[in-house]
Amino acid sequence: MDNAILRRRKREVLGGVIVLAALALLPLPIKDVYTQNLIIITVLFAGLAQAWNILGGYCGQISLGHALYFGVGGYVSTLLYLKAGLPPSLGLFAAFGVSGLLALPVGWPCFRLSGHYYAIATVVVGEIGYLLFLNWDFVGGATGVFIPFHGESWAQLQFKTAKLPYHYLVLAFAAATWLTAFLLEGSRWGFAWRAVKDDVTAARSLGVNIFSSKMAAAALSGGFTGMGGAIYAQYVGYIDPDSVLAGHFSILIALPAVLGGVSTLWGPLIGAAVLMPASELSRSYLGGSGRGVDLMLYGGLIVIVALARPQGLVSLFGRKDDHARIA
Amino acid sequence: MPALLEISHVSKRFGGVAANVDISFDVQQGEILGLIGPNGAGKTSLFNSIAGEVTPDSGEIRLDGVKLSGLGPVACAQRGVARTFQVVRSFDSMTVLENVMVGAFAKHASSRAAMRAAVDVIAFCGLSPRMDRPAWSLSPPEKRRLEVARALATEPRVLLLDEMLTGLTPTEAQSGVQLIRDVQARGITIVMVEHVMEIVLPLVGRAVVLNLGQVLTIGTPAEIVKNPDVIRAYLGDRYAA
């Protein structure tokens, strides 16, 4: 068989390998810690945005509460390490499991709403999570939890000054989300999600179970977001509700995908590559006096993209036979 | 031989409006049955009940003796009742092939198998040249064909066509009629809603005429055009013989 779908998927695999290789080599010549850090955060958010894209892009359910999964993932791996001695390298997977499962009871009531009402409900759920953790002493309450340093190790995912191991950790994470999105895109689930996004009534008439499709997308999306949260917690070494559960993380997770192009494989990465450096630079150049300028920047970028390129930045690179993807 | 699809004593009210009142008829395996009647006769309500989109207030709909009513559209689709929509509902962000694959996944778990099945159905419906085009770019008659292709990809036993030929030019309607005949030749039973009589009557073996939510008459096209009740319902008392 030869058709646009198979041709496109071959191209995507090739592109994926090239980008992965490029990102693996990228930090090697860079000695500057600030830049290394910026690349790590960018790649991490590319992965998080891809995780969001599974639910918000392919399935079309705009969640603005993903900080919940991100924060819970961070807390799960951290607390399992501190209270049960589980090494964070395994804690990542526990974070995936807990955040993924958490997405189910969240989805159960929220998916009864659609469109804007669903988005609003997710904002509320995210805020509830933030407030719960803020007032929950067992998890450190408002003071948060500090991850003590026990020497460099991959099991512990702790590295004193070296940035390179973290780079490969976030790259592996981002690559895993990309691969998952790629495989799902070609699978029964991916087709069901895109059908749900385009027309619920038509999807139902073709035997697509709407509710379970959304729940599956939410679980996968939440799981990967939780894993990213665990990596983030390990990277920064200290988490509190404000640094992982605050509402702006929900925006930060969704925005690269929206900016780069939803329900595309490359939108989240392109969006993160533009957004993270831009917000980092605006923050560092403007210093304390510029607090909030990065938020203005997000707003400005969204307005520009919505007006000029509603399909996201990825559409700048689109090929003619890809038009169906970005319509 | 027992009927493939049995509609027995189906009633449906929407608030104060009785859309369907005690409707009963059978659909035989392999036939094309027309569901006709003037505007507001209750065709679409009944159609939606058969497709599972709405649940009748009373009465039952059975496919091969198994009760379908009340199970919802997903179960109806999985059990072999596929439908098209009066107002076309294509998945516009997907290509023609992708649209049809959504239907094919109802019967095939692997994407390879679904793709193969979808390619066949697209060829059957004469859409092969459009296979890789985005659905939004199709012309209206092509979109109607896409709806048929998508429904056929679920490998249905009964295909419900909702005004598939309405609003087409005579040439387009003619090729649509040919497609419906081809579908019937595959052994698929067809129930079609249509209010343009001259299109339906040459095509169907029997037709059910609805008026004001009730069955006015059931019969062959020749019987129906002569029936004074039908003429009265469509044209008013003055024209009834």
Please tell me the distance in Å from B241's CA to the nearest CA on chain A. Answer: 43
Residue A86 phi/psi, 5-degree rounding, is -75, 125
Residues B163, B139, single domain; the answer is no
A198 and B94 within 8 Å at the Cβ level: the answer is: yes
> Considering its fold, how many domains does chain A have in total?
1
* pLDDT tens column, B216-240: 999 998 898 888 888 888 777 776 6
Residues of A in contact with B92 (CB under 8 A): 198, 327
Higher-pLDDT residue of B198, A17 = A17
- Domain of B238, CATH number, reads 3.40.50.300
Number of residue pairs across A and B with CB atoms under 8 Å? 112
- pLDDT higher than 60, residue A168: yes
In chain A, the percentage of residues whose pLDDT exceeds 70 is 95
CA angle, A126 then A131 then A137, to 5°: 130
B90 and A202 within 8 Å at the Cβ level: the answer is: yes
Residues B176, B236, single domain; the answer is yes
**Which residue bears the tokens 């997710």?**
A122
- Domain of A113, CATH number, reads 1.10.3470
Residues B65, B165, single domain; the answer is yes
**Which residue bears the tokens 């379970």?**
A212
Q: What is the ipTM of this complex?
A: 0.91
Average pLDDT, chain A: 88
B90 and A188 within 8 Å at the Cβ level: the answer is: no
Checking B172-180 for CB contacts under 8 A at 24+ apart, the result is B172/B141, B173/B199, B175/B126, B175/B141, B176/B141, B176/B144, B176/B145, B177/B202, B177/B203, B179/B125, B179/B126, B179/B145, B179/B148, B180/B32
* pLDDT tens column, A36-50: 999 999 999 999 999
| Of residues B235, B208, B183, the one with CA closest to residue B37 | B208
Cβ burial, residue A89 (10 Å; 0-12/13-18/19+): middle
Q: How far is CA A1 from CA A195, B116, B117, B162, in A?
A: 23, 8, 12, 33
pLDDT at residue A322, rounded to an integer: 47
Residue at which a domain ends, from B132, B155, B178:
B155
pLDDT at residue A156, rounded to an integer: 77
| Of residues B68, B99, B71, B69, the one with CA closest to residue B85 | B99
Determine the Cα–Cα distance for residues A34 and B165; give it in Å rounded to an integer: 65
Residues B124, B172, single domain; the answer is no
pLDDT at residue A220, rounded to an integer: 97
A207 touches chain B (CB under 8 A): yes
Q: For the stretch B165-186, what's the b/e string if a residue is b when 16 or more beta carbons lie within 10 angstroms of its beta carbon?
A: beebeeebbeebbebbeebbee
Coil, strand or helix at B93 = coil
A53 touches chain B (CB under 8 A): no
Determine the Cα–Cα distance for residues A37 and B53; give it in Å rounded to an integer: 54
Residue at which a domain ends, from B129, B155, B181:
B155
Res. A320 pLDDT band, cuts 50 70 90: very low
Cβ burial, residue A278 (10 Å; 0-12/13-18/19+): middle
CA angle, A258 then A262 then A268, to 5°: 70
User: Distance from CA of residue A32 to its chain's centroid?
Assistant: 26
Residues B111, B217, single domain; the answer is no
Residues B160, B148, single domain; the answer is no
Coil, strand or helix at A238 = strand
What DSSP state is assigned to residue B57?
S
pLDDT at residue B13, rounded to an integer: 92
- Lowest pLDDT segment from A63-72, A195-204, A247-256: A247-256
Q: How far is CA A155 from CA A90, B57, B137, in A?
A: 8, 62, 53
Question: Tokens for B192?
Answer: 């079609």
* pLDDT tens column, B47-92: 999 999 999 999 999 999 899 988 999 999 999 999 999 889 999 9
Domain that holds residue A9: 4-326
Please tell me the distance in Å from B83's CA to the nearest CA on chain A. Answer: 7
Element (H, E) at A130: helix A116-134
* pLDDT tens column, A291-303: 677 777 778 887 8
pLDDT at residue B241, rounded to an integer: 54
What DSSP state is assigned to residue A246?
S
Element (H, E) at A300: helix A293-308
Helices A116-134 and A88-110, axial angle in degrees (round to 10): 130
A324 and B83 within 8 Å at the Cβ level: the answer is: no
pLDDT at residue A290, rounded to an integer: 58
Domain that holds residue B227: 1-80+156-241
Residue at which a domain ends, from B126, B155, B184:
B155
Residues B173, B69, single domain; the answer is yes
Residues B5, B59, single domain; the answer is yes
Of B77, B95, B105, which has the smallest distance from its Cβ to A205's Cβ?
Answer: B77
Task: Report yes or no: A77 and A94 within 8 Å, Cβ to Cβ.
Answer: yes
Residues B12, B126, single domain; the answer is no
* pLDDT tens column, A232-277: 999 998 999 988 998 888 988 999 999 898 889 999 999 999 988 8
Residues B20, B57, single domain; the answer is yes
Residues B162, B56, single domain; the answer is yes
**What residues of B are in the A interface, CB distance below 8 Å?**
51, 53, 72-74, 77-78, 82-83, 85, 89-95, 97-98, 101-103, 105-106, 109, 111, 114-116, 119, 131-137, 150-151, 153-154
Res. A327 pLDDT band, cuts 50 70 90: very low
Residues of B in contact with A199 (CB under 8 A): 89-91
Determine the Cα–Cα distance for residues A249 and A261; give it in Å rounded to an integer: 19
Please tell me the distance in Å from B60's CA to the nearest CA on chain A. Answer: 20
**A87, HSE (Cβ side, Cα atoms, 13 Å):** 11
Task: Report yes or no: A99 and A67 within 8 Å, Cβ to Cβ.
Answer: no
- pLDDT higher than 80, residue A317: no
Determine the Cα–Cα distance for residues A313 and A317; give it in Å rounded to an integer: 8
Higher-pLDDT residue of A278, A217 = A217
pLDDT at residue A319, rounded to an integer: 54
Residues B76, B186, single domain; the answer is yes
Coil, strand or helix at B155 = coil
- pLDDT higher than 60, residue A323: no
Of A186, A199, A327, which has the smallest distance from its Cβ to B89's Cβ?
Answer: A199
> Considering its fold, how many domains does chain B have in total?
2
